[in-house]
């Protein structure tokens, strides 16, 4: 099962832009999307070593990280990554 984990922050303009894109992709592909705040969820974010470029989307398959998308991307770029993962699974 594929799951998405989004790490963002309230002060991050790119995170605001990407929120709608991540939500749309998760809904279109019926994927669970969990959100962590870089500042408020530090105890969960810190072990993930996300660095200082936000947002970060971590894609898990069967609870194993298989892809990390860092920074602002287009809707099509996110879809391409999801499609690659789905097609590899087949």
Cα angle 64-69-72, degrees, rounded to a multiple of 5: 155
Q: How many angstroms separate the CA atoms of 79 and 17, rounded?
A: 16
- pLDDT tens digits in sequence order for the chain, 90 residues long: 899 999 999 999 999 999 999 999 999 999 999 999 999 999 999 999 999 899 999 999 999 999 999 999 999 999 999 999 888 865
The residue segments making up the domain with residue 19 are: 2-89
Domain harbouring 9, CATH code? 3.40.30.10
Strands (DSSP E) found in 1-90: 2-8, 33-37, 56-61, 64-70
Length of the chain: 90
Q: What is the pTM of this model?
A: 0.92
For the chain, how many structural domains are there in total?
1
């Amino acid at each position: 099962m594929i799951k998405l984990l989004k790490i963002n922050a309230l002060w991050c303009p790119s995170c605001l832009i990407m929120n709608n894109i991540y939500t749309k992709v998760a809904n279109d592909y019926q994927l669970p999307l969990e959100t962590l705040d870089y500042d408020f969820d530090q105890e969960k974010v810190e072990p993930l070593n996300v660095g200082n470029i936000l947002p970060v989307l971590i894609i898990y398959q069967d609870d194993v990280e298989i892809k990390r998308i860092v920074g602002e991307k287009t809707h099509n770029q996110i879809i391409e990554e999801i499609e690659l993962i789905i097609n590899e699974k087949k």
